[in-house]
Chain A
Amino acid sequence: MNRLAFVAPLAALTLWGCDVQAPNTTPDPVIVPYVDPTVPDHWTPTTPTDQGPVDLDPPQAPLEGKVARRITIDQLRQSIPALFDGITWTIGTGRNAREGFDQLSGSLGEADYIQATNENLEPTPLFAKFMDDMAGDVCAKAVARDATKPEGDRVVVASDSDVAASLRFLRLKLHGIYVPAGNTEGLEPYLELHQRLFESDGANTAWIGVCVAMLTAPEMMTY
């Protein structure tokens, strides 16, 4: 699992693209010193006279539809058990096991209407870290469960023999993205991740890794 802990989030980093083309290299930032062109100091009163150009016919604002936003913790709380046949994120073991979404509600940004009155929907590093934990826990349990079920009743590994078919199943279920049979568009990074993990750690780890990558991807976490 140590290797998985490294690879899976890395995969999430590289696989989130859903066809978004990230630049290959990040150029060094160009730092331009700020020079205020009109005010030599902040204690000298000034009355600007040049108000700048005025456009009497401003361009029309672009039309905007529903804005993409991050999924809420409550939506995850409802969705994860529905997607994984009752399995959800738990923290602790045995009698001390508690649902992670409830236990970490405050840290995850949910409002309690006493300390916080608005849910924080920013994809903060803390949120990303806990979603990593959530995905690791849920996927490990789901893959272990799948090993005991016939293919038709599984929640992650839909097919033992056809990796691409399982990936298509997960892509549709978690991301709402349909990849037709015979097509691997958008699946290549997942196929590669599965292949690498399979070779190094075996099938279970490979499926856990793919599941974590998909569950933490922006296609899953936004709508």
Chain B
Amino acid sequence: MKMKPLLLGVVWACCATTPAFAQVCEETNPTQAALHYLRRLSLDLRGRLPNVTELESVVTNGALDPAIIDEMLASEAFVGQIRRHHRDLLWANVGNVRLGNNNWNLRGSRNGNLPISVGANGRMTAYRGGVTSCLDEPATFGPSGEILTTPDPNNSSLQLEGYVLVRPYWDPSVEVKVCAFDAQSAATAVDARGRTVDCSRTGNVKGCGCGPNLRWCGYNNGGVNDDITAAMNEQLLRYIDRIVRDDRPYTEVVLGKDLEINGPLAHWLNHQAQTQGFQLLAGPAQNYPVPDLEFSDQAWTPVTQGTRHAGILSLPGYLLKFQSDRGRANRFYNAFLCQHFETTESIPSASDPCHQQPDLTKRCGCKGCHLAVEPAAAYWGRWAEAGVLPLEEANFPRHNPACEGADARNPLCRTLYFTQADVTNPEIEGPWIGQLRAYVFADAAREANIAAGPEGIARAAVDSGRYATCTVQRMWQFLMAREPTVEEEATVAALTTNFTADYRLRSLIKAIVTRPEYVEGGRFGEEE
């Protein structure tokens, strides 16, 4: 009995994966051929098998009513199928991205009844003198509103406060117990050295908490962080959904300017992205007005994207999935140009001094790809790597003298600028110290790409025709379950020419599924 599934799988595999299977199994009578055509269409265009009524209609008529193809293409299920295709294409899932560091993450108790608090050592020590949470009793306050504490009976060095009830931003309809220090809402406080600090940016000063309604802090136990990353995934895919549903030109996937944003995303950008240190570089300055939405507002609000935006290429779902500029360019080439970077250049031995060249467009073994990768990556040069932040000249000048010195260790310099700490070859790299990273080794052409932003590479791809060719190839592969052959180059070229007229994906797909290669399936090419 244990062999049963194995046998089934093996026999089945032999049958199912060979073209012969389709050829042998498919009947040659017109009704049967039409039934199989309907089955193919329904699975590819709607993602499900046809229903009995549709099948019986074919049996009754002896043929497929061509109108059903248009019905399928107009259905919401078709939009869902194209969404699945793009999820594959763009690996649309940033669910594993960590949005903030522990200093800004509230943790719940296991049984759900104890007060919630930030679990990071820094905050706990600043609040209570050691790594511990608060007491499960209401907090008490002094005459001037200061939080009163009592010594821990087991460790007198710990000073414990009680909890307060807060309506959290993620669910204002309920009150939750929050340790009083963590629940503080002051905008500023004075630190141990007497300096006034911004509490929305400071995670280890006793007078600072998580802000009004806890808005600056994440809450893993409540699924709050998951809501934000899920919104990023959804934003990316619904961007494409609307283009497909409304039959807009497919070029808008990479050139459009109309994103939608919901409560979790807006709350994160407005209140948490900049707060949570340099975990991810992000903030409310997105080159579009981030609406002031409640976190709990799940509706999607349309917004017009501004400078440096280009369709999905500047959405968090893309920028955080492919966090480096090179990764972003690489995925663009893979997904929209059907090209992969692969060098044919041989790599000299490890002891060869050519490996010391810091410029990858000149380093042996690397330049084979990076001569193309670096200019392509430059299009995202003014988008922060490992983040979602447009780097405008006003706030992020190309050259920042503050990042030149040997002591330029602040996070901004270390993250975005080329500093002395990065230098491996002073003779070559010296002139670039203090430059925004994207400009290091950049020639005039690359500088132009940086200025153009992702729109530049998208526009070039469309204008060159390669975007259209790749889209046709992708759709062919999606529907035919194989790449076009050399013999089919003329067919693909003709489809591309037609597609380029208006870039309507629906028309392209209809053109493919009505071709004999698709209609006849495994019987295609057989002599009658």
Q: Is B11 touching A67 in the complex (CB atoms < 8 A)?
A: no
Tally the A-B contacts, defined by beta carbons under 8 Å: 176
Instruction: Give Cα distance in the complex from A25 to B48, angstroms.
Output: 37
How distant is A143 from chain B, measured CB to nearest CB, in Å? 17
Q: Is A66 touching B524 in the complex (CB atoms < 8 A)?
A: yes
In the complex, whether A198 has a CB less than 8 A from a CB of chain B is no
Of residues 225 through 259 on chain B, the ones whose CB sits less than 8 Å from some CB of chain A are none
Task: Give 17 A-B contacts (CB < 8 Å), ordered by A residue.
Answer: A22-B11, A60-B487, A65-B518, A65-B523, A66-B521, A67-B522, A68-B521, A70-B17, A71-B43, A75-B48, A114-B93, A114-B95, A125-B5, A125-B10, A172-B55, A218-B25, A219-B25
Q: Is A127 touching B9 in the complex (CB atoms < 8 A)?
A: yes
How distant is B228 from chain A, measured CB to nearest CB, in Å? 16
Q: Is A223 touching B39 in the complex (CB atoms < 8 A)?
A: yes
Neighbour of A113 across the interface among B36, B49, B92, B518, CB < 8 A: B92
Q: Is A65 touching B12 in the complex (CB atoms < 8 A)?
A: no
Mask of B4-17 contacts with A, CB within 8 angstroms, 1/0: 11111111110111
In the complex, whether A4 has a CB less than 8 A from a CB of chain B is no
In the complex, whether B21 has a CB less than 8 A from a CB of chain A is yes
Q: Is A128 touching B9 in the complex (CB atoms < 8 A)?
A: yes
- Given the known interface contacts A176-B35, A176-B55, the answer about A221 and B16 at a Cβ–Cβ threshold of 8 Å is yes
In the complex, whether B50 has a CB less than 8 A from a CB of chain A is yes
In the complex, whether A18 has a CB less than 8 A from a CB of chain B is yes
Task: Give the chain A neighbours of B46 by CB distance below 8 A.
Answer: 78
How distant is A53 from chain B, measured CB to nearest CB, in Å? 22
Mark the stretch among B156-164, B274-282, B474-482 that contacts chain A.
B474-482
- Given the known interface contacts A65-B517, A66-B524, A172-B55, the answer about A123 and B48 at a Cβ–Cβ threshold of 8 Å is no
Mask of A108-149 contacts with B, CB within 8 angstroms, 1/0: 000111100111001111111100100000000000000000
Q: Is B8 touching A68 in the complex (CB atoms < 8 A)?
A: no
Instruction: Give Cα distance in the complex from A64 to B481, angstroms.
Output: 11
Q: Is B49 touching A82 in the complex (CB atoms < 8 A)?
A: yes
Give A contacts to B, CB under 8 Å: 6, 9-10, 12-13, 16, 18-20, 22, 60-71, 74-75, 78-79, 82-83, 111-114, 117-119, 122-129, 132, 169, 172-174, 176-178, 216, 218-219, 221-223
In the complex, whether B24 has a CB less than 8 A from a CB of chain A is yes
Q: Is B525 touching A177 in the complex (CB atoms < 8 A)?
A: no
- Given the known interface contacts A13-B7, A63-B525, A113-B91, the answer about A68 and B21 at a Cβ–Cβ threshold of 8 Å is yes
Task: Give the chain A neighbours of B297 by CB distance below 8 A.
Answer: none
Q: Is A123 touching B43 in the complex (CB atoms < 8 A)?
A: no
Task: Give the chain B neighbours of A173 by CB distance below 8 A.
Answer: 49, 52, 55
Neighbour of A10 across the interface among B4, B6, B12, B84, CB < 8 A: B4
Neighbour of A78 across the interface among B48, B91, B520, CB < 8 A: B48
Q: Is A123 touching B12 in the complex (CB atoms < 8 A)?
A: yes
Instruction: Give Cα distance in the complex from A173 to B49, angstroms.
Output: 9
How distant is B50 from chain A, measured CB to nearest CB, in Å? 7
User: Would you list the 6 A-B pairs with minimal beta carbon distance, nearest first?
Assistant: A65-B524, A63-B525, A113-B93, A129-B5, A78-B48, A128-B9
